[in-house]
Amino acid sequence: PLVLVPVTLEAAGRGQSFRISLDDAGESTPNYCLLEKLRQTFGLQIPGLANPARDDSGIDLPAAFGATRQALAKERLPFQVEDTVDLAIFQFAKYRLWKDLDEHWESLAGNPLVTHLIHTPTSAFSDPVAAVESIDLDALGNAVPVPADSSQLEAVADAAAGRTFVLEGPPGTGKSQTITNIVANTLAQGKRVLFVAEKRAALDVVKQRLDAVGLSPFALDLHDKGARPTAIRAQIREAIDAAAHPDGASLKTNTETAASSRGALRRYAERLHDANSAGLSLYGARSQFLASTEDVDALEVPASLVSGQAAEKIDEIRGILRTLPETADLAHPSPLHPWGFIDPQQRDHSAAVGIHHAAQEFDAALTDLNALPGIAELLRDARSPKDLAEWASLARAPRHPLDAVDAVHQRVLSGEIPALQQQLAAAAPARDWFAQVGPEVLTTDISPIQTAAAAADASGFFGRKKRQRAVLTQFGAALKVDPKTIRPRSVTPLVAEIAAASGALGGLRQALSTLPITVVTHGWNPYLADDAKTATTTLEWAVWTGRALAPSTTDTSWRHGLRSYYAQSAADQALSAQITRIANAWRALAVAIGATEEAGIELLDRWGTERGVIETWEATRAARHLETSTPVTLERWYAFVSALEPLRAAAMTDARESLMTGRVPADLAALAFDKGIAATSVIERSESQALMEFDVAAHSRTIQRFTDSAAAIRDELPRWVPAEIIAKRRINPAYDGGAMGELKRQLSRQRGGMSVRALFENYGDIITQVAPCALMSPESVSRFLPANERLFDVVVFDEASQIRVADAVGAMGRASSVVVVGDSKQMPPTTFAETAVDDEDTAPGAVADEESILTECVQSRVPQKWLSWHYRSQDETLISFSNHAYYDSRLSSFPAPWPAAGAAANDGHGVSLVRVNGNFNRSGKGRELRTNIVEAEAIVRDVSQRFAESPGRTPSLGIITFNSQQRTLIESLLREAPDERIAQALDERDGLFVKNLENV
């Protein structure tokens, strides 16, 4: 055929013949395939047929035929032209695409992506449009008509900015919703969008979404050969007359409300997910704690570690705890470890040797004393070297009855004995008259001498001095000087002073003699050295013993033991020395293990808290191996404790103690640390982020305000977006003059009007302003749109895995930027029944095209965006296999609200397998060839059962086959089913469908 004229074949009526009519959706065209065949085979070109003259009816056929005859005759080719008409089915859409590229490739290459695919496909694509620096995705989310997640909104923002990129997303990730938002947002900014899909079904999904958001008047449907000029003219007229009346005040109020409540919710989310130094937020810490093993006790972790320390410090501690078992396995930490009283800040071999020697001495002293009968029990009650020193003193103390000792203590408490001690101390100093009369005079009766002195003083003048000196002779041997050396008149004062001292001494002697213990005997004279010392020492011992044996509320066992020992034993200097040896060894050991003696004693005391140091020491004696000369077990403990030193620096003293005592096993230390980090982070994050005072009611009100305002905004957008589109037009649709007037007149013509392509060639800029979105296929782009004008700002390819590279170039070249949307894992375009042709014109080293424009762009390193949230499946099992096998588990899905998968368990949700005993018929003839009749019949029975169980509504069902023959067989069986609702459902738009896999 030389000329192809599109027609439709219609039945005139039941029993009548068919009627042929011109298809006004298409136009007559030369057979370019024949022209190309003649050119390639014979070098023949026929300009009169390739670009034929036209008249009112279309192509001037006589002129075209004449030109063909002349060209054939000129080249003497054995062909003839016959003036006949044949009715046939021809598919030559691909030729239009080829011809479009052949004639306009230089113009189409003006698109940056096309240039890249032609010249630099192995390099990364360099987008001439700068990346979007920052975008308020929350605000953008309110401005798009379909709810979107952040990854979808980023794609919307980049598309509106004129960026070229690939948008990949597995099934159910919202690709069509994202395309709808891209179109709406881009149109609202005054730009024009060309939407391209190979399959009508893909376009219909987006078209329905655009209709739902109020963009139907602005989106021209030019997808396929069914796009009739009259319908297209009607669409353009509708776009010109479109009007929108949004409620601006309401939109502004709701936008501000949404922004305010969204800010509050965002701040809450930020606080909830704000991480501390450990990298944990409150949400993360709580999740980690709940996920931790229940039988592992959490280590105590201070808040300072998770709030102020660097993450490297936490990692350092975690690393130490992971390797802790290496030293713990040798040290055997336990609550009563034989070396558990040692807590060094750093490992020191010389210190370990010193401790070992001190421990040997302490152990030997204990062993020697324990050999004495009746000593061991009291010895174990001693809690400190101070106790032992007290016992050592008591061992050599003078013995008195216990009741006497207690009575002395009571008199000490009353202040009586301290007063006597003061009197005794005051009496001790020598008197002035001791040089004349010795202190032994105080043991005699002074009153007669005092009487004689008074009589001598009262005697006559003559002989008085002699009589006064004579009084001195009554002192006897106590008189230390010659009476003549003493002045007579000094005798009476001297006697009086001695008498006063004698009287005071008598009172002191009387007071001491009344004490419960014997302190003085008859004739006791404190001015005699031995008497004074004896009384003082006896009284001091009595006072100390009373205090030492006084009952106590804190150490009753120890006091009771001391009292029993004191009452039942005699003073023993040798035992005192042995006890003193233990006390000194104890102190020496304390000095060896602690920074100070007090610190060391505290370490020992903490170690032996339950049973006391000595009893604990004896219970753990064997494990210390003190009989060896080298401190092997001590060195192992040193290594273990030294490994835990960083915990002390991190203020993790309680955790360190738990590990040293074995309460937390070393094998679980790292797990316990992480659990402790989580537990502390929960508290620390709650306090630092002010979440302890979280107001549930206020938060719920904020959520409600946000959802209400967002819903109100989304309700208003179908009016606001069209209003923005209309407002950003650079023309006045109401103007009837100029090009606008001409276009209106063309649109109003009932007959003989311009073709669709002619409309775009003459009024393309106006049409794309009034209807800035075109929904097309690659073939309709080449058929309707001129190639020498860039009528669109953005071209969006949907189901790009189904579009060949060559088919996509024409659409890309008619726009400034490109958004390629699809899924690389979906099936590429079919190659069934296509002829493989080797192109000899291909340049050596040229890079072969990929199967689809999607894979071509990916391989050509065009920037990629990924949609990873899967929303469609009501049961995760529907997507789990694909996610694992094809998408590297990058896809995030949402848990189903039921516990198990499978049709039986979940009301038809999920994946289930029904095996039938059928066979695939690879040979034969008739409708059963390349089918499985048993499987087909089983499917039909299942569908019939579902319809029977749902009498009130049509079940939502789809059937997918792996070849067209099985599809045809199943559909035929369904139409033959007794239930007429099944056949009706097959003809409904959203009813039952049966499709071959490639057409899904």
Higher-confidence position of 410 and 124: 124
What is the share, in percent, of the chain residues with pLDDT greater than 90?
Answer: 44
Give residue 479's identity as a one-letter amino acid code: L
Rg of the chain on CA atoms, in Å: 56
- List pLDDT tens digits, range 262-272: 889 989 999 99
Residue 549 pLDDT:
86
Could you identify the residue written with the tokens 């005051």? 426
Residue 924 has pLDDT above 80, yes or no: no
Residue 941 pLDDT:
95
- CB proximity list for 763: less than 8 A, separation 6 or greater: 739, 742, 743, 746
Residue 793 pLDDT:
96
Which pLDDT band holds residue 257 (cuts at 50, 70, 90)?
Answer: very high
Q: Which residues of 837-853 are buried (b: 16+ CB within 10 A; e: fewer)?
A: eeeeeeeeeeeeebbbb
State the Cα–Cα distance between residues 332 and 256, nearest whole angstrom: 66
Comparing 10-14, 129-133, 595-599, 632-636, the range with the smallest average pLDDT is: 10-14
What are the CB-based long-range contacts (under 8 Å, 24+) for 57-60? 58/5, 58/27, 58/28, 59/3, 59/28, 59/29, 59/30
State the Cα–Cα distance between residues 136 and 144, nearest whole angstrom: 13
- List pLDDT tens digits, range 438-491: 666 666 667 777 676 677 666 656 666 776 666 676 766 667 677 777 777 677
Could you identify the residue written with the tokens 């606001």? 720
Residue 904 pLDDT:
46
Q: Exposed, middle or buried: residue 854 (CB in 10 Å: 0-12, 13-18, 19+)?
A: buried
Residue 431 pLDDT:
66
State the Cα–Cα distance between residues 471 and 457, nearest whole angstrom: 10
Residue 515 pLDDT:
81
Residue 654 structure tokens = 């309680």
State the Cα–Cα distance between residues 712 and 990, nearest whole angstrom: 29
Residue 428 has pLDDT above 70, yes or no: no
- List pLDDT tens digits, range 179-201: 999 999 999 999 999 999 998 88
Comparing 451-455, 693-697, 913-917, 959-963, the range with the smallest average pLDDT is: 451-455
Residue 334, SS3 per DSSP: coil
122-136: average pLDDT = 91
Residue 750 has pLDDT above 80, yes or no: no
Comparing 218-232, 612-626, 663-677, the range with the smallest average pLDDT is: 218-232
Pairing of strands 193-197, 958-961: unpaired
CB 219, CB 770: distance < 8 Å: no
Write down the pTM of the prediction: 0.66
Average per-residue pLDDT for the chain: 86
State the Cα–Cα distance between residues 905 and 346, nearest whole angstrom: 64
Residue 994 pLDDT:
95
Of residues 218, 221, 216, the one with CA closest to residue 232 = 221
CB 292, CB 322: distance < 8 Å: no
State the Cα–Cα distance between residues 752 and 405, nearest whole angstrom: 139
Which pLDDT band holds residue 510 (cuts at 50, 70, 90)?
Answer: confident
State the Cα–Cα distance between residues 718 and 212, nearest whole angstrom: 8
376-402: average pLDDT = 87
3.40.50.300, 3.60.70.12, 3.40.47.10, 3.50.50.60: which CATH number matches 113-247+771-828+849-866? 3.40.50.300
Residue 831 pLDDT:
58
Total residues belonging to the chain: 1000
848: which DSSP letter? Answer: P
Residue 563 has pLDDT above 90, yes or no: no
Q: Partners of 820 in the beta sheet?
A: 166, 797
Rounded to the nearest 10 degrees, what angle do helices 447-458 and 464-472 cross at?
Answer: 170
- List pLDDT tens digits, range 791-844: 999 999 999 999 999 999 999 999 999 999 999 888 777 655 455 555 555 555
Residue 364 pLDDT:
92
DSSP characters over 938-973 = HHHHHHHHHHHH-TTS----EEEESSHHHHHHHHHH
Higher-confidence position of 78 and 840: 78
921-943: average pLDDT = 89
Residue 32 has pLDDT above 60, yes or no: yes
User: Where are any strands of DSSP class E within 781-866?
Assistant: 792-798, 815-822, 864-866
Pairing of strands 815-822, 792-798: parallel
Fold annotation for 877-999: Rossmann fold (3.40.50)
Q: Which residues of 761-778 are buried (b: 16+ CB within 10 A; e: fewer)?
A: ebbbebbbbbbbbbbbbb
Residue 814 structure tokens = 């008619």
State the Cα–Cα distance between residues 697 and 712, nearest whole angstrom: 22
Residue 381 pLDDT:
84
- List pLDDT tens digits, range 869-908: 998 888 888 888 888 888 888 888 888 766 554 444 456 6
- List pLDDT tens digits, range 775-796: 999 999 998 999 877 899 999 9
Residue 347 has pLDDT above 70, yes or no: no
Comparing 115-119, 528-532, 735-739, the range with the smallest average pLDDT is: 528-532
Rounded to the nearest 10 degrees, what angle do helices 964-975 and 933-949 cross at?
Answer: 40
Q: Partners of 195 in the beta sheet?
A: 775, 796
Which pLDDT band holds residue 923 (cuts at 50, 70, 90)?
Answer: confident
Comparing 35-49, 77-91, 540-554, the range with the smallest average pLDDT is: 540-554
Could you identify the residue written with the tokens 């019949």? 937
Residue 744 structure tokens = 């209106």
623-640: average pLDDT = 89
Residue 223 pLDDT:
87
Residue 903 pLDDT:
46
938-950: average pLDDT = 94
- List pLDDT tens digits, range 274-324: 999 889 999 999 999 999 888 899 999 999 888 877 788 889 999 999 999
Residue 370, SS3 per DSSP: helix
Q: Partners of 166 in the beta sheet?
A: 820, 864
The listed range with the strongest mean pLDDT (694-708, 741-755, 816-830) is 694-708
